[in-house]
Amino acid sequence: MESLMTEQLVALDLDLASKEEVIRHLARMIQAAGRLNNEDEYIQAVFKREEEFATAMGFSVAIPHGKTDAVKIPALAFARLTNAIKWSDEEEVRFIFQIAVPEEAAGDYHLKILASLSRQLIHEEFCEKLASITEPSDIVKLIGEL
């Protein structure tokens, strides 16, 4: 998973107030990293997926994702919010991993990313590291070890 994430795709202690703001902010980061063909199409794919089923996973984590040809190079962006926000009717989140995968690679690749992250989220130590790490490079290293 190391090639999916770079320091450019990590935002620590963001002060955003809504799911929509977070998704758009992370999409801009993925676009700035040169991994999207079309930022607006990618955002629409993420919102469409959220409408189908909210991506909050418990443990204050959400993993929104978009599968679309608007993605040029697969990416995993991360945001840690200063305050938890309402993600769905029942879930508040503070840690967001946003996945971008091309449509043709979406099947297996997308599921591998989700599975790797989900397996770690049940470990308290992993969540504590997400909360306490102060450098984007350390987040990249943590995710690269999955």
Check if 110 is active-site.
no
- Of 25, 65, 110, 123, which residue is the catalytic one? 65
Grouping H, G, I as helix, E, B as strand and the rest as coil, residue 91 is coil
- Cα separation, 83 vs 54, in Å, equals 19
- Cα separation, 92 vs 33, in Å, equals 28
Residue with tokens 């200063």: 82
Measured from the Cβ of residue 124, the count of other Cβ atoms closer than 10 Å reads 9
98, β-bridge pairs: 77
- Cα separation, 108 vs 110, in Å, equals 6
Active site residues: 65
